[in-house]
Structure 1
């Protein structure tokens, strides 16, 4: 890496600021260049220090984290990772911060064990988010595969998977679909279990479609969006009618696993499965997308230019599963054309 990644740490607690600094500076390529104790100071230092990335607490005096995110994204856009309590109240506040422009969130570092695990995640997020396009050039907009008309069956189920940047991306797509959209929609995002109920409620409030968190045995019906619960595995089953199975499982790195969602859709409805993989870190979804493609179904991927992190959709393109690669703002219109 040619240069250090410069990070501004924002938290009203000196204890947490030190803990975050210590977690970050384990990496020789990450440097904490400043600390702020409230949102107002964070806005000022973002202008003075020009950080590559900011970590931000939600609840702070003078100016809270959500207001600070809005100001920074308006005045000097910078990748911002929120630290949040994984409670219902924390979930609502964090989703507000993501809507305001933050790109990701992590749990508060409340114990030594939490700090070790979250520190690993934080360093990975910082390096991925801050180093994307670090040469100063805008992300490359790749030429998508030629989408010669799809000759397969009419889709009967849409599965959307995402991770980093996914809550806002999925929200944008779902909110733009009409209330008479003819397919059931199943959404899988890497989120904790305390966040998915609040996220489903938010989708329901914003969209013409009815959205709710999935529970074991729920039917998949047109006009309805089911959000796979965090911390559990969700899969599609056609045994006794199209529905979801939700269960505890440790057989995959991610819960929910986008690979499992897509693979189970391919198994349940074959060529009538339709998968879309949006922004996210890592490769989850590539194997499931490949299975839908091999079953004769459709697979689309978000393009690099509109992705917060071009990891998951890039992996789908690399395995040759993507029929189309689209900008985020193009996806809802394209869905209306083919469904």
Structure 2
């Protein structure tokens, strides 16, 4: 859609109070228009067909048809960006993660019982995410449709074919059991990701086969979500996946995810002495956890043995760290535009020369595997 046209939003919620509150917040922006309302998932399908909104806000628990029941149709049939309106509780986190893995582009917080006024404190976040969703690309999840194509179109700037030709597509299914390599880590893989990340990582991390170096991930996500997200990935992966804690040693075939609302750093003088530090320092460029924080902390420890990957998400977090890693001889990769929900962080990194190679999402497992051999 063009930048000068208003983003038309369909609000889906069984609560009249919540519908009105969301409408008031969205109408506070001159760039958003409320296209209509629906009280359940079935009405949402009908209104989407008739009104053709640009973005849909979707509640989870509704009569007749829930938000999760309607989501496959809204995303898979109508290809509309869906922003979930979610409770920031453990139960709400699990449901929201399911929705994000199914193709919802983002979520905004919903007030806890009898605290409707709390929604107003996040009005700016809601408006910003709706506007961003209006510019996003819906990526059809394998959970609701077919897998990502084997050879998606790449961006206009071509990635070096010599490298990508050596990287295998994601295997159809990882082995259920595999022995972990006990070798001390020599290399490390760092991933920075934001909007669209849960879906992208859920479709690729479980397909990575050992042996691989330690993998550290910064996913922009609230504190109650990252632990649940790590647990979900761990249940379907042949790698060990968990939320990072201070003192963790870096181990091959292990994925550590930065806790929401905390920074993730690598401390030590060499890969053999490297340890994890989780800190509560102020946000960096508005982010906590920060991709730049992780990338820059790894550089004195691993140097040219770093494989750094920037993926879908808005903003430019990670660009500074990628520039430093590439200058030091490390390998830097960016997810391409065609397979990104939001081509933002990875776009900024590509345009500023921080990324050497762009890749479609299906190549991620192969890039990680090659970092072990490299």
2: CA distance between counterparts of 1:305 and 1:86? 31
Whether the 8 Å CA contact 1:79–1:103 is kept in 2: the answer is yes
Greater Cα offset, 276-285 or 107-116: 107-116
Residues 112 and 266 of structure 1: CA distance in aligned 2, closer, same or farther (over 3 Å): farther
Structure 1 segments unaligned to the other structure (5+ residues):
none
TM-score between the two structures when normalised by the length of structure 2: 0.83
Matching of residues 62-211 of structure 1 within 5 Å: 62-109=64-111, 114-132=118-136, 141-146=155-160, 156-178=187-209, 180-211=210-241
Q: 1:16 — aligned with what?
A: 18
Deviation at 1:142?
2.2
SS of aligned partner of 1:95: helix
Residues 155 and 76 of structure 1: CA distance in aligned 2, closer, same or farther (over 3 Å): farther
Whether the 8 Å CA contact 1:147–1:324 is kept in 2: the answer is no
2: CA distance between counterparts of 1:267 and 1:41? 55
1: CA distance between counterparts of 2:232 and 2:299? 28
Q: 1:241 — aligned with what?
A: 273
1: CA distance between counterparts of 2:53 and 2:367? 37
Q: CA RMSD in A?
A: 2.2
1: CA distance between counterparts of 2:186 and 2:308? 10
Residues 114 and 298 of structure 1: CA distance in aligned 2, closer, same or farther (over 3 Å): farther
Q: 1:335 — aligned with what?
A: 368
TM-score between the two structures when normalised by the length of structure 1: 0.92
Matched, 1:326 2:359: yes
2: CA distance between counterparts of 1:188 and 1:176? 19
1: CA distance between counterparts of 2:153 and 2:21? 33
1: CA distance between counterparts of 2:254 and 2:346? 24
Residues 43 and 214 of structure 1: CA distance in aligned 2, closer, same or farther (over 3 Å): same
Deviation at 1:333?
2.2
Output one character per residue of 1:207-242: Cα deviation in whole Å (capped at 9) or x when no partner.
110101111111110011111100111111125712
1: CA distance between counterparts of 2:348 and 2:331? 16
Structure 2 segments unaligned to the other structure (5+ residues):
138-151, 165-184
Q: 2:298 — aligned with what?
A: 265
Whether the 8 Å CA contact 1:145–1:322 is kept in 2: the answer is no
Matched, 1:227 2:229: no
Output one character per residue of 1:37-68: Cα deviation in whole Å (capped at 9) or x when no partner.
11111111111111100001111122111111
Aligned length: 331
Deviation at 1:113?
6.9
1: CA distance between counterparts of 2:153 and 2:111? 33
Deviation at 1:334?
3.1
Greater Cα offset, 287-296 or 193-202: 287-296
